[in-house]
Structure formats: structure tokens, C-alpha cells
Amino acid sequence: MSVSSLLLLCFSAVFAENLVFTRLLGVGPLITVSGKPKAALTVGALITAVMTLSSALAFAARRFVLEPLGAQFLQIIVYVVIIVLLSEGAGLLLSRFLPALYGIVSVYMPLVPANCAVLGASLLSVQFGHGFVQSVLFGFFGSLGFALALFVFCGVRERLELADPPRSFAGVPMYLVALGLIALAFCGFKGVDFGGGSLFPFTLS
Amino acid sequence: MRKSVSYFAKTGLLTRNPAAIQLLGLCFLLAASASLKDALTLGVCAVLVLVCSNVTLSLLRGLIPDSARVPAYLITAAGFVTVAELAVSAWLPSAGRSLGIYLPLMAVNSLFLARADAFASENGPAASALDGVFMGLGYALVLVITAFVRELLGAGRIFGFSVFGRAFTGVPFFALPAGAFVCLGFVIAAFRFVKRKTEERK
Amino acid sequence: MQKSNERGAFYGIAVTAAITALAVILAVLVNLAASPFIKRNADESVRSTVALVFDGVTGYEDLTEDFGVDGTSALYRVISGTGGEDRYCVICGNDARFIVGFRGDGIITAVRALSADGVQLKAGQTDADKELLAQFGGISADAEGVHIKNVSGATVDASAAVGAVNTACSAVRALLGLDGEASEEE
């Protein structure tokens, strides 16, 4: 767990393993919230906070509660409870201290727990066998990757509004095709070699 | 306000298709549509979990306050998805392995949340079960169609059987995440087209 | 629906807690029913993965807890029906997995590329890949570091393979006590 392998992890969480463009998670909230840039910023920040904390708590829950009891099958329920508690907590804090901002995003609040990226980051950490530091870093940088996707897509969407697609394609189908092209660009990160082995040794799995 | 079975079928499969029209649970349509086998497994799980979740939450309707809606719906879905995951690991292990994290991830599928909120919380268990069946089938339908296109174009196979032999072994683009986005976009556009034509005919 | 909105916040928490408890009970019951099958499937999957590098496998002993190092996901002592010497295999890597088979004296017998779910990678079976992986045969675990000629595989990355084999070697070195101390293996 050297510093360089941790840096590699952070970089790959944002680019090569981008939760949206490589792992295909969090697409729902991406499309829903990218129409309103101000709300998008807040929702992105909330998701970052919830994802990082939930990665930490999920690791702790798995290591100190589920594994000793041999109850790994309860992982889904436990992780969802953690995410839900953190989301509700974040919502409460926001409504208490920044009520104007909360007013803008209150419609989008369910998107914070109910998106695949938050739970997905914790589950990926389990699959990769991450330790505590790695889980938290993966959660944090993974959410930054999501924020990056949101930022890029907000801009793309503005341009798409000016386009004139066939009627059936107007709206989400067009957004999906645009996201596909961006995803193709992100594929380029798969071939990056840092001297310690490329981030994605296999081209297709 | 009795609705007939054909009403549920029509809305669930086409006019209010949860994937193509309501745009719920898009992540799985992208991730699990790489192969038909994955798509079918996930689709069947989606139907079963949706029916169970809808019926359970319909029975509990009136007991769940507004403030606890989202947590309650998510945890119920998580419970049934856990059951599905255990069942798949026990009796369909290769399908479970190839789905990877995407089966447990169904716990946060907005499909379950949205149907619970829009339907099961205000209707009886029988109607909620019907809604669950047809909305689930509609979701599975989009998933399977997308998977069919992606597997055929991406690998020249259906269910792992090579259809064109050596003449065409697929365009790798469709197996990539980028291909998933594009295919799904086309499938949704196709659904909308069919929906519009059906409505124009009336 | 009006009635339920007027109850306090604690009611909401209580309802959520009750639903969680019910979900947990359901999961526990299903797990009781399903776990024998799950265990059997896991066992079969390990056997078939180990069979990629060894023949005649009748059983295995999981030594991952005791001897696994950072980067290895599994380490098994392989038992074969013919009662020959002990053999070991190590599964390394996160996204790109490799299984490395060792003889009892620490010499590598074979390396195979695995997908994330432990099945042999179809893509990793082209001639170029086989040539790459065959270079690891015969290397001893107590070598300082594994070096091979710079051959690149079609889909298997040479540096990933080297890294995985190095990790496997370090695990087996610790297991067999090859770190400069002569020790007897059974």
C-alpha cells in the first residue's frame, strides 16, 4: 500500500474507473440533475460527502460487525441503512443551516441515497479487497469522478438544447448518445501506463 | 377505481414503460445489457423484487409517514434484493458471478422506489402486485432488447451461441460502456416512436 | 394519508427500524436455506479454478488467512489423489487476476489469466498470451524478482503478469520458509 499505489488508485477512481463512464453507475441522477446547474452543484457536493462517509462506515461495519458474525449476506441491508442515515443527516443539516439551498434541492434529495454510485463504490471496494484508507479514498475520488461527469455533462447538455434531433430522439436518447461519446473518450485512460503496469491490463473482459 | 389487467399491461409495457418512458433505473440497463443471459437474470429478479416490494409496501401503506418514505422503501427493496442475491448465488452461481456487483446494487434501483411511491403507497395489494408484474416486465423488456442488440452487434452471439460464425465476430464498440449508452439511447428512441404511433392511431 | 403525517419524527424512525428488523429476519431465514448450496458452489468454483494449473486435484486447503499477503486474494494447498508432494497455488491481483501454480519446492508450474469472477479469461488464451505466460514456468519462488523477456501479450499485460507473479512468489517464500532459512517441507 505504497503512496504511489494510493495515488494510482485516486487517479483511476476519477478517470480510468470513472463510476459513470466506465462502471455505468449514477446515470439516473446525472441526467435528472444536470438540467439545473445550481442544484447540480449542491447535489454533487452532497453525494461526495455521503459517498466518502459511507465508504468509511461501510468498511467499518463489514470488518467489525459482519465478518466476525459471518453475516456478510446482510451487507446490502446494512450498507443501505448506512447510506440512508447519512443522506437523511445531510438533508437535515442542509435544511437547518442553508435553508435557501435546501429549498432548491429538496426535490432532488431522494437522488442522493437512491443512486447506484454511492452503494456501488462501497460494493466495488469490497470486490477489490480495499483496506480502510483505500476504501475512503476510492469513495472520495469516485465521487469526484461523478462530479466531473456532472460538470462535463451540464455543459454538453446546454449545447444539446440548441440541436434539432428527430422527435423520438429529443431529450434523453440524445443525452445517452452524447454520454456514450464521452465514455468513448474516457476509454482512452484505460491504456495509460504508469510504469507499474497499466491500469486496465485487459482490453475486454 | 378498478383497472383492468390490460390497462396495467399496456401502461407497464409501453405507454408508461418504467425504463423507456419513466427513465427509471437506467444504470442497470447499461451495465447488465452486455449479454442476454445477464439481462434475463436481472430482469427476472427485477420483476420478482418489484412485486414483493410493491405488495409489502401496499400492505404497510398508511403506517409509513412521509418523512420516512424514502428510507422505508429503500430498506424494503434492499431486503428483497438480498433474498434474490442469496437465491442466485445458490442456484444460478455463474449468472451471479457474471453480474458481479450489479445484482446487489438493485437495492437502490429507482424503479422500486418510484413504483412504491407512485402506486403501492396508495393502492391495495392485488393492484400493486399487478403493477409490479407489468412494470417489472416492461423494465425487463427494455433490458432484454438492449442486450439482444448489444450482444448480437458486439460479439455476434445470442446467449453465447455464435450466430454468424466466423463471418462476423462483432464490433467491440457495442460491448464497451460507450456502446451501452448509444444502444440504450436508440432503444428508448424506438420505444418513444412506437408509443407515439400507437397514440396517434386513436 | 393525512393521519400518518401528523405523527412525530420518532414514529418515522421506529417504523424504519421495524422494517429493517423484518428485512434482516427475512435475509437470515433465506440464508439458512441457501447457504449449503452457496458453500457447494464456492467449493466447485475453487476446484475448477485450481484445475486450470494442476491436474488430479481432489481437495484443497485454504491457507489465505495464514499466508496471504497484500495483493493475493487466495492461497491454497492443493491435495491430489495420487499422494504426490504438496502443491500450492496463489491467486493474485485485483481487477486483473492471475493464478500461479507452484510445486512443493517453490518452482512455478503454470500461470493463467483469470477474469474478475475466477474463470479463465477467454481473451487471455491467444497464442501471444500463452507464450507470455509460459515464460514463468520453471522460475523459482526464491528468485530475487521475476524477470522475463519483454514479450507483450495480445490482451494480457506483461507488467501486470510480472507483478502478480512477484506477489505470488513472495507469498510462497513466506509459506515455505525460503527466506534464507532451510526448512523442511512435508
A70 touching C (Cβ < 8 Å): no
Q: How far apart are CA C5 and CA A185, in angstroms?
A: 48
pLDDT at B9: 87
My answer on whether C151 and C62 are in the same domain is yes
My answer on whether C75 and C13 are in the same domain is no
**Are C20 and A81 an interchain contact pair (Cβ–Cβ within 8 Å)?**
yes
Find chain C residues with C-beta within 8 A of A77's C-beta: 20, 23-24, 27
Number of domains in chain C: 2
Residue C107 C-alpha, separation from nearest chain B C-alpha, in angstroms: 32
Q: How far apart are CA C127 and CA C154, in angstroms?
A: 8
A196 touching C (Cβ < 8 Å): yes
My answer on whether C89 and C166 are in the same domain is yes
My answer on whether C76 and C148 are in the same domain is yes
C-alpha cell at C17: 427500524
pLDDT at A79: 96
My answer on whether C17 and C88 are in the same domain is no
Q: Is B68 in a helix, a strand, or coil?
A: helix
Q: Is residue C119 part of a domain?
A: yes
Q: Is residue C24 part of a domain?
A: yes
Domain that holds residue C63: 51-176
Yes or no: say if C141 and C169 are a contact pair by the CB < 8 Å rule. Answer: yes
My answer on whether C153 and C92 are in the same domain is yes
DSSP C145: S
- One DSSP character per residue, B3-35 reads --HHHHHHIIIIIT-TTTTS--SHHHHHHGGGS
My answer on whether C6 and C81 are in the same domain is no
Domain ranges of chain B: 7-200
My answer on whether C145 and C56 are in the same domain is yes
How many helices (DSSP H) and strands (DSSP E) are in chain C? 5, 5
My answer on whether C114 and C125 are in the same domain is yes
Backbone torsions φ then ψ of B105, nearest 5 degrees: -65, -15
Q: How far apart are CA B115 and CA B122, in angstroms?
A: 10
pLDDT in single tens digits along all 186 residues of chain C: 344 445 677 888 999 999 999 999 999 999 999 999 999 988 888 888 888 888 777 788 887 777 777 777 788 888 776 666 778 888 887 667 788 888 878 788 888 887 755 566 655 566 767 777 777 777 777 766 666 665 666 666 777 778 788 888 888 888 777 664 444 443
My answer on whether C38 and C115 are in the same domain is no
Q: Is residue C181 part of a domain?
A: no
Q: How far apart are CA A17 and CA C95, in angstroms?
A: 11
DSSP C136: T
Residue A17 has pLDDT above 80, yes or no: yes
Q: Is residue C182 part of a domain?
A: no
Yes or no: say if A76 and B81 are a contact pair by the CB < 8 Å rule. Answer: yes
Chain A residue whose CA is closest to B69: A110
- A92 by Cβ neighbours in 10 Å (0-12 / 13-18 / 19+) ranks as exposed
My answer on whether C87 and C112 are in the same domain is yes
Q: Is residue C98 part of a domain?
A: yes
pLDDT tens-digit series, residues B132-147: 999 999 999 999 999 9
My answer on whether C22 and C114 are in the same domain is no
pLDDT at C9: 77
Residue A130 C-alpha, separation from nearest chain C C-alpha, in angstroms: 9
Residue A193 has pLDDT above 60, yes or no: no
Sort strands C72-80 and C97-102 into parallel, antiparallel or unpaired. unpaired
pLDDT tens-digit series, residues C7-31: 677 888 999 999 999 999 999 999 9
In chain B, % helix, strand, coil (3-state, to 5) comes to 80, 0, 20
